[in-house]
Every structure is written in structure tokens, then in C-alpha cells.
Amino acid sequence: MIISASRRTDIPAFYAEWFIRRVRAGFLLTRNPFNHNQIRRVSMLAQDVEAIVFWTRNPTNLMPYFSELDERGFNYYFQYTITGYPRSIERSVPNPYKAIDDFRKLSVQLGAGRVIWRYDPVLLSNLLPLEEHKRLFQKIAKNLAGYTRRVVVSFSDFYKKTEKNLRDVEGLICSDIATDRDSLQKLTDFMAKTAAQYGMEIFTCAEEVEVNGIGHGKCIDERLIQEVFGLTLSGDKDKGQRESCGCIKSVDVGVYNTCLHGCSYCYATFSHERVISNKRNHDPDSPFLVGSAEGVDPDLLLAVKSQQSLF
């Protein structure tokens, strides 16, 4: 089993203490986001987890627990987003200079192969025109050279829930770069050359669009896991993801509407009010990320027996 922590929220930034307590408890509970009454118990024992994929903009709250994760025998790597977008679009993300500094520290600690840079999503707008994306991408790539081997890019999807949040950004006028072939090719050509210049492979994430010089990637990738950890895993596609997503199967342990970064384009955050409410209902001792275990089937709450060493 691979654990995704998480496409739905930033667990390292906001829920690191909860996560490590669930590791110590040996299990967590997660609800189906489309059926609140459907509950799954997920083992957090290293013997049951081939790898953990952390998705974050700020890993610093989780970093003090790396030694414990290592001692318990977990394999893990990071998808780390840095874009440098204006505060009007990304209200509460770390300053890009700090994010780059933390990225470097993470890479030094874990190795460049276990920290993947995401320039994601590419949001073409009057506040972020083509030349500004080129400037940001080049500047970040230059500062991360030698600290990562891979960069992932994707292009903003305009769902109803994201369009509403984007409309709330004063003065913002967006356009869909995926439908602007000329701008798309100019930007991706630049990104491919820049990535190569700074020693990075570049891939797209969950994109149907074909662009020269950039291959389709997998964020949860059996080849990367084999390369970094020496594990041979099935390459079966995760059918719970979009058709264009190449990721292999995983269990996501996050919850929608729990991330406090305030990114206006985020598909995982529909309502800031819901985020605040969910944060209030977060208990680091609960098996759930949000809410208590009151009324849950007692069999789902059975304690994990301590693992006795046989050597």
C-alpha cells in the first residue's frame, strides 16, 4: 500500500502532529469524501506501507519527525510546490525565498531524488502573463539546481468551485493556456530548456495535452520508488484519479477543505469558511483528521498490538 498525504490538503504544513500520532497508534480512519458514513481503517505500520508520498508547500513541521519515520522503517518522498505567485492568488503560502531555503534543507537531509519540485498549476492571467511565468520558473529552477532531479508542471483546470474563488481575486482575468497553443508551446519550450539547463527532468501532471519536450509523468510513480528505495511495485493505474492521471494506486488520507494556504485556484478547497470550521474540529489525538471517533464501530478503533522484535 502507498499512502498519499495528501492531494486534498497539506498534512506536513498543518497536520504533522496528527500524522505522527497516527503512525505511533498504528492506524488512522478516513471517510469517503462522497459518502460520509463510509469509513476505512488504514494501517500505519511500516510493514504494511511500501511508501508515503507527502504533498506540501511547507515541510518544516514534519521534519523533526524524520528520524522517527526512518527508525520505524518508512520509505517516503516529497512533492513540493513552489510557484512565487502574488499574494492575491496565494494568500498564505511561505515566502518563495523561505520555501527555496526549506526545499534545500529537505534535499540535503533526504537526497535530491526524494524531493520533487512542482510548478503547479500554471495559471495564465493578466497578473501572471507568459513572460512572468518564464521569469518565475527560471529563477526558482536556478535556485533549486542540484537539490532536485525532477520538476512537475500542470496547467490550471477551471472547475466551477475554482472559478468562483478566482473571481473573488480583485482585478484577476484568467485564460486557459491549454487552449492557447502558441502560448502553451512557447512556455513549455522554455520550461523544458530551463529544466535541462539546471539538471532536472521535466514532466506534466495529469495532462491530456501533448507538448514537445515534456513527457507525461506520474507523481506517485513505481519507477521512482524502485529507483530511490529499491522496491518493485505494480504499475496499476489508480482508477480513482482522472483518466489523464498516470499515478499508481494509493490511499489518500487527507480531507478536502482543510488546507490553510488560501490558494485561489485550489480544487481541494471550496470554501474558506469550511476550512476554518474543519480546523476547529481537528483533534491531533483523533483517528480522523477532522472530527472525533464518537459513534464509530468499536472494531475500527481496536488498538494495534506492539510489534515484538524476533531478533
Q: Tens of pLDDT along 21-56?
A: 999 999 999 999 999 999 999 999 999 999 999 999
Q: What is the pLDDT of residues 194-228, one digit of tens each?
A: 999 999 999 988 676 778 888 888 889 898 999 99
Q: Which of 81, 19, 68 is nearest to 44 (CA)?
A: 19
pTM for the predicted model, two decimal places: 0.94
Q: Hey, CA dihedral for 247, 141, 58, 274, is it positive or negative?
A: negative
Q: Can you tell me the distance from the alpha carbon of 254 to that of 30, in angstroms, rounded to the nearest whole number?
A: 8
The strand pairing partners of 151, in sequence order, are 117, 202
Q: What is the pLDDT of residues 257-284, one digit of tens each?
A: 999 999 999 989 988 999 999 999 999 9
Do 26 and 273 touch, CB atoms closer than 8 A?
no
Do 167 and 158 touch, CB atoms closer than 8 A?
no
Q: What is the pLDDT of residues 124-143, one digit of tens each?
A: 999 999 999 999 999 999 99
Residue 308 has pLDDT above 60, yes or no: no
Q: How many residues does the chain have?
A: 311
Q: pLDDT class for 244, splitting at 50, 70, 90?
A: low
Residue labelled with grid coordinates 500500500: 1
Q: Which of 111, 75, 110, 80 is nearest to 2 (CA)?
A: 75
Q: Can you tell me the distance from the alpha carbon of 135 to that of 110, in angstroms, rounded to the nearest whole number?
A: 28
For residue 42, give the H/E element and its range: strand 35-43
Residue 310 has pLDDT above 70, yes or no: no
The strand pairing partners of 214, in sequence order, are 211
Give me the sheet containing 115-122, strands edge to edge: 215-216, 201-204, 150-155, 115-122, 76-81, 51-56, 2-5, 251-252
